[in-house]
Structure 1
Amino acid sequence: MNMEERFDRIIEPITETIKQHLRRIPEDIKRQTQEIRLRTGRPVCLYCNKGIYFFSRAGRILCYPAEEMLTATRDDILETFRAICSYSVYSHQDEIRNGYITLRGGHRVGVGGTAVLQDGKIASLRDISSLNFRIARQIPGCAQELLRQMKGRWAHGLLIAGAPATGKTTLLRDLARELSSGRSGPIRKVAVVDERGELAGTCIGVPQNDLGLCCDVLDGYPKAEGILQAVRTLSPDIVVCDELGGMEDVSAVEQGLNAGVTLVSTIHAGSAEELLHRRPAVRLLETGAFGTVAFLGERSSPGTVTGVCKAGDLLAQIHRNYSSDSGGEPVWPAGVA
C-alpha cells in the first residue's frame, strides 16, 4: 500500500464535511502528510515534511492561516471519535486511557480531552476536544544505512532515540524487515512485541505491514510479558519493541537481557543531552542491553540517522565525575528526573 492509499485509509472515520476536502488534496501532499489534526473550533491542519497546511471553507489549500478557514466542530470531533472506536467506545477504554487508539494498518490517533481520575489515576477521558491522526509509514530500505554504520554492533543491542515524529517507528519497522529477511546479512529470527499495534498493524491476526520473512508478532502484549513470552515460545535471535521510557520498562529489558536475547527498541529523546537527563533512560543504558544508541534528526526528514555512539561513552559522561559527598555515587546532571 503506497502513501496515497494509506492517507485515504486513515481518513475513512472522519466526518464527510471534512473528509470531502481531504480526499481532493494533491497526491504529492498526501505523500508528505505525517499528521492530520482536528481540534474543536480550530482549523483542520495537515502536518507535512515541508510545513503546515490549512483549508479554506471552499476546500482550497492554504499555506498560512486566513479568515474563513475550514474548522472542526464539536459534532465533527465526537462523530469521528465514535467512528474511530467502531461505535463501541467502551471496548477501547484501555487505549483511550493511554491517550491513543490504534487503527487498522498501524495508524494511531492521539486523543485529547478532560481526564477522569479514579484514585489519582486516569480512568478515562471525557469531553473529547482534539484528535491527531498519525499516518504509519513504510519506507523499505530506510534502515540499510544504519545497519551499514553499525557494522554488526546491533547484535549487542540497539536503542533508537529521537524526538516525536522523527521516524523512530518507521525505522524500527524496517530494521525488523531487514534483519528477518536477510537483506543486510544472515537471516535472523525476529520477534516483535507490538504493544500498541503500530509496528505490524495486525488486523484479525494478519500483519498489515511487512516485517519480513522470519518475523513473529506478539500483538497487544505488554513489553515485559511479551519479551518473556517470545523467549519461552519463539526462540528469537532478536526481540523488537517500541517506545521504552518508564521505570517499568527497565525491568522488562532486564528480564529480556537475562534470557540472552538481543533487544532493539526506541525512546523519546531529541539529543544525547536530553537522553542523559532522564533517569529511566540512563537506567536502560545501565542494564547493558543496549550497546549502541542511534540518534535521529529533524521531523522534516523522518528516519534520518544523524549520529551513532556507544552506550558506554554516553554513560561515561555521567559516571566519570564522582562527588566525595555522594558516597561514590555518580553525579547526575542538573535536571535529571
Structure 2
Amino acid sequence: MQMHPILYFLPENLQRELCGMDQGTLKHVEEIRIRIGRPVEIVMQSETRCLSFVPTVSDRQYIAEKISQHSFYSLEEEMKKGYITIEGGHRIGIAGKVVLENGRVQSVHSISSFAIRKAAELIGCSAPFMHHLYDQKQQRFKHCLLVGPPKSGKTTLLRDMARSISTGSREKGFSMPAKKVAIVDERSEIAACHNGIPQLTFGTKVDVLDRCPKIEGISMMIRSMSPEVMVVDEVGHEKDIEAVMDAMFTGVTLLMTAHAQSVEELMRRPLMDKLIQSELIHFIECSSRGYSLFRGKDEVMYVERVS
C-alpha cells in the first residue's frame, strides 16, 4: 500500500524526513504517531523509531486543515468517533479536548495527537483456509470466527476472505464459485470506505454497509442484499451475538472476529456459549507469528504469517 496519500496530510519537514528514509524501512511502516511537542514515532511490526521532527501547534493546524479540506464542520460526525478514514483506506485517529453534551461526545477540539494507521491488505493470505471452510458438495461456506489480540492480523485475514469469496476460485481439484458477500463495516476497518466506496481490493460480488452498527446492519443487509456470506468485525456484546445467531438461522454464513488471546480463552467466556454451541465449530487463532485453524478444540492446520 503506497504512502503517497498519507504524505499529503503531513507538514513538509516531516514529509522530507520520511522520504529520506530507506525505502525498505518505509515499506514496513504500519503507523505514524504525531504528538504535539514530542518526536514523531513510526511504528513497524518489529520495532518503533523516533524521528527528529517535533510537531508544533502550527503543524497541528496544518494537518487538521488538510484532513478537513478547510471545512472542519464537514467531519464533525466522524471526529466524534475519534478517527476518520482517508482516501486509500488509511485511518487517522485523534486525541485531544472532548466537548460533552448530556454525557455524549459532541466534538473534539485542541487535537494533541494523530495516529495515522496505514491500510494493510495481504492478498492471498486466506487461500490456505478456503479448502477447509468451503463445502464443495453443499456449495456453501462454513461459519468461522477469527480470534486474536489487537494487531494480530484478524481484520487483514477477514478482509482477504471476503475478497477471495467474492471473487471465486477454480483450480485443480477445487472449485469455489464467487458468492454474494455483505460486509457490515461498523468501524470502516474491513473495506476502509472513503465517501462510501471501498478503498481496498474485493471481488465483484461485495456490498458494504459502512459505519453502521452491527445489530442494525446485519438485518438490513439480509433484507436488502440477500447475501450468501456476511462479514462482521469485533463481535463480543450480547446483542451482537444475538444478531449473528439470527442471521445464521436465515441460512447466511457468518465470518467474524473477536478479541481474545486464544480460542481456549474465548471458549471460557459465558457470552460466547450460545454461539459456540450453535453451528459455529471453525475458529482461526491469530497472532503476530501466524494463523491456526481449529475445528472445535482440535487444531487442523497452522500457517505462518507473512508480512
- 2:233 matched to 1:242? yes
* Contact 1:105-1:200 at 8 Å conserved across structures: no
For residues 270 and 109 of structure 2, what CA distance do their matches in structure 1 show?
A: 32
For residues 266 and 64 of structure 2, what CA distance do their matches in structure 1 show?
A: 34
The aligned residue for residue 224 of structure 1 is: 215
The aligned residue for residue 296 of structure 1 is: 286
Identity of aligned residues (%): 35
Instruction: State the Cα deviation string for residues 32-64 of structure 1 (Å, max 9, x = none).
Output: 111111112111111112311222xxxxxxxxx
Q: TM-score, normalised by structure 2?
A: 0.83
Q: Which amino acid aligns with 2:218?
A: I
How much does 1:238 deviate? 0.1
For residues 61 and 112 of structure 2, what CA distance do their matches in structure 1 show?
A: 8
- 2:127 matched to 1:136? no
Let me know the Cα RMSD of the aligned residues: 2.7
How much does 1:208 deviate? 2.3
- 2:84 matched to 1:87? no
Match of 2:202 among 184, 199, 211: 211
Q: Which amino acid aligns with 1:133?
A: I
For residues 222 and 61 of structure 2, what CA distance do their matches in structure 1 show?
A: 42
Cα 1:287–1:107 change in 2 (3 A) is farther
Matches for 1:316-331 after TM superposition, within 5 Å: none
How much does 1:276 deviate? 5.1
Instruction: State the Cα deviation string for residues 183-217 of structure 1 (Å, max 9, x = none).
Output: 27232211122233332233455432111132222
* Contact 1:262-1:289 at 8 Å conserved across structures: no
Cα 1:235–1:136 change in 2 (3 A) is same
Match of 2:8 among 9, 12, 32: 12
- 2:18 matched to 1:22? yes
The aligned residue for residue 146 of structure 1 is: 129
Matches for 1:11-90 after TM superposition, within 5 Å: 11-55=7-51, 69-90=52-73
Match of 2:183 among 189, 192, 200: 192
Cα 1:279–1:117 change in 2 (3 A) is farther
The structure where strand makes up a greater share of residues is 2
* Contact 2:13-2:53 at 8 Å conserved across structures: no
Match of 1:158 among 140, 144, 152: 144
**Structure 2 unpaired stretches of 5+:** 170-174, 299-307
Q: Which runs of 4+ in 1 moved over 6 A?
A: none
Match of 1:308 among 284, 293, 298: 293
* Contact 1:106-1:199 at 8 Å conserved across structures: no
* Contact 1:40-1:130 at 8 Å conserved across structures: yes
For residues 58 and 274 of structure 2, what CA distance do their matches in structure 1 show?
A: 44
Instruction: State the Cα deviation string for residues 64-123 of structure 1 (Å, max 9, x = none).
Output: xxxxx3222233233313322333333323332222111122211121223333333333
How much does 1:273 deviate? 5.4
The aligned residue for residue 302 of structure 2 is: none
The aligned residue for residue 63 of structure 1 is: none
* Contact 1:254-1:289 at 8 Å conserved across structures: no
Partner of 2:4, secondary structure, is helix
Q: Which amino acid aligns with 1:40?
A: I
How much does 1:310 deviate? 4.2
The aligned residue for residue 60 of structure 1 is: none
* Contact 1:102-1:196 at 8 Å conserved across structures: no
The aligned residue for residue 105 of structure 2 is: 122
How much does 1:182 deviate? 1.2
Instruction: State the Cα deviation string for residues 129-180 of structure 1 (Å, max 9, x = none).
Output: 1111111112110111233454649933111122222222211111011111
For residues 201 and 32 of structure 1, what CA distance do their matches in structure 2 show?
A: 19
Q: TM-score, normalised by structure 1?
A: 0.76
For residues 296 and 199 of structure 1, what CA distance do their matches in structure 2 show?
A: 16
Aligned residues: 290
For residues 134 and 269 of structure 2, what CA distance do their matches in structure 1 show?
A: 28
* Contact 1:42-1:72 at 8 Å conserved across structures: yes
